[in-house]
Amino acid sequence: MAFFFNRTRPRSPSDVAKMIRDLLGKLFEASSSSPKVEEDLAKQLAHTKLIVQGTQEVDSSPDQVNSLIQAIIQEDLLFELARSIRLLPFESRKDTQTIFSHILRFRPLPASDGDPPVITYIAHHRPEVVVELCRGYGYSQSAMPCGTILREALKFDVVAAIILCDESREGEPAICLRDLLLNTQQSGNGIFWEFFEWIDRGSFEVSADAFTTFRAVLQEILTRHKGLVAGYLATNFDLFFSRYNNVLVQSDSYVTKRQSIKLLGEILLDRAHYNVMTAYVDSGEHLKLCMKLLKDDRKMVQYEGFHVFKVCPPNQQLTSISQRGVAGAGLTRVAAQVFVANPNKSVAVQRILINNRERLLKFLPKFLEDRTDDDQFTDEKSFLVRQIELLPKEPMEPARLVGETRGSGVNTAAAA
């Protein structure tokens, strides 16, 4: 009979949260691994996962999940998990990833249209959770679970804004939503800028996952919040592209190099980044880098570099666009629209192209000539060749270029 009276009662969400916090504290402070602490933590995290996820037989209870989230917030457990995830055993890291992913998107009934409660809490009160998750890329064992959690959180623009703007050092408070100033010049020492090193210096797995998250910050949220990153890039133009070109585009890693060039082309050809694109293509140094990529030993690097290069040559006239290029819905048409909108390229860019005109006219027709089944690429090459043929003998001031373009009677509307 004593057995029945000694049965343990089901633990409340508050008890579970407190127990996990205490165990994490012991794990974080321990100088070496503690099998007993790790075992107890694994049990509590597995139990927590069942609360938020349910099982195949029994769905999770929204009321119970809501109570658990309130307890997690009360115990500051999100921060403790974020900073300790690298210390957890493999299965416990997976469980932590699942717990985060579920509670980040959980909305209690009746659901509202705003951000989920956990996202609101992080943005307004505990942005350090996001920063610590980013710092998980500094450790191979936590890079991928932290990356998965971050990409779930990045579905909400406030999280991206924290990553872009926070410049706190380890141990300092991170920037809260109320203090965010996206148009403020960055120092280059914040958490966002550490992604460049994680991508370039990490192991293959860490680098690949860090780049996926980096891309999410810069691009994936643009489908919903285009102005967010566009304004940030415009304000931090020199700092961003200096790091991007020197660390990523010229990386010794083939994968990093190719992915970075591809993303660069997508950024420049996005309509939301028009001002960024025009500033980028006005730089002679950027054009030199593009031309260097065209001569890389690897064909896919050459190909991705071509899509950046094609927005750089100055467009004197648009009469050379073939009917296929005008009607196409691919990148040729986008590039043509860029040229129409910004014909007055800098003297520096003109001078480089004029000085290299003969070399380019010999090089481009033979460039990746084995891509015979890619009609769009062939049209783009022909378009660029024609533009280079139309270059003046000497560079012209941009204002003069605009006047001559307007007076040439070119039907620029057709290219749009």
**pLDDT tens track for 207-236:** 999 999 999 888 666 556 666 777 788 889
| Three-state secondary structure readout of 350-376 | HHHHHHCHHHHHHHHHHCCCCCCCCHH
Q: How much is the pLDDT for 144?
A: 95
Token code pair at residue 346? 């800098």
Q: Please name the residues in contact with 364: beta carbons below 8 A apart, sequence gap of 6 or more.
A: 381, 384, 385, 388
pLDDT for 268 equals 82
Nearest of 214, 73, 203 to residue 150 by alpha carbon: 214
Would you state the pLDDT for residue 133? 97
User: What pLDDT shows up at residue 342?
Assistant: 35
Who wins on pLDDT, 19 or 5?
A: 19
Return the structure tokens found at 86: 């690298």
User: Residue 404: is its pLDDT beyond 70?
Assistant: no
Which SS3 state, helix, strand or coil, does residue 88 take? coil
State how far the Cα of 77 lies from the Cα of 67, in Å rounded to an integer.
14
How confident is the model at residue 222, as a pLDDT?
A: 59
What percentage of the chain reaches a pLDDT higher than 70?
82
Instruction: Tell me the pLDDT of the chain averaged across its residues.
Output: 82
Cβ-based burial of 152 (10 A; exposed 0-12, middle 13-18, buried ≥19): middle
Q: Return the amino acid letter for 20.
A: I
pLDDT in the model for residue 109: 80
How far apart CA 389 and CA 156 sit, in angstroms, is: 47
pLDDT exceeds cutoff 80 at 179: yes
| Separation between Cα atoms, residue 290 and residue 361, nearest integer Å | 16
pLDDT for position 64: 93
Residues 76-130 pLDDT 10s = 999 999 999 999 999 999 999 999 999 999 998 877 778 999 999 999 999 999 9
Question: How large is the angle between the packed helices 226-235 and 274-281, nearest 10 degrees?
Answer: 30
Distances (CA, A) of 165 to 82, 104, 180, 182, 276: 19, 21, 7, 7, 19
- Which residues neighbour 238 within 8 Å (Cβ) at sequence distance 6 or greater? none
Give me the amino acid identity at 397.
Answer: E
DSSP code per residue over 17-42: HHHHHHHHHHHHH-SS--HHHHHHHH
Q: How far apart are CA 212 and CA 404, in angstroms?
A: 44
Segment among 1-15, 45-59, 272-286, 394-408 with least mean pLDDT: 394-408
| Amino acid symbol at 261 | I
Structure tokens at 319: 């009469």
Residue 67 near residue 106, CB atoms below 8 Å: no
Instruction: Over range 288-306, report the average pLDDT.
Output: 90
Whether pLDDT at 348 is above 80: yes
pLDDT at residue 52, rounded to an integer: 93
pLDDT at 321 over 60: no
The secondary structure element, H or E, covering residue 130 is helix 128-135
Q: What is the pLDDT of residues 234-291, one digit of tens each?
A: 889 999 999 999 999 999 999 999 999 999 888 887 777 777 888 888 888 988 898 8
Kindly report, residue by residue over 94-108, the tens digit of the pLDDT: 999 999 999 999 998
| Displacement of CA 307 from its chain's centroid (Å) | 19
How far, in Å, CA of 289 to CA of 252, rounded? 15
Percent residues over pLDDT 90 in the chain = 47
Place of tokens 């378009």: 383
The pLDDT score that the predictor gives to residue 312 is: 62
Q: Under 8 Å CB-to-CB from 113, ≥6 apart: which residues?
A: none
Furthest C-alpha separation in the chain? 102
Residues 282 and 284: their CA atoms lie apart, in Å, by 7
How far, in Å, CA of 288 to CA of 246, rounded? 13
pLDDT surpassing 60 at residue 73: yes
Distance CA 222, CA 140 (A): 29
- What pTM does this model have? 0.83
Please state the separation of Cα 412 from the chain's center in Å.
34
Q: Give the CA distances from residue 380 to residues 274, 310, 330, 353, 377, in Å, rounded to whole numbers and listed in that order.
A: 20, 8, 10, 17, 5
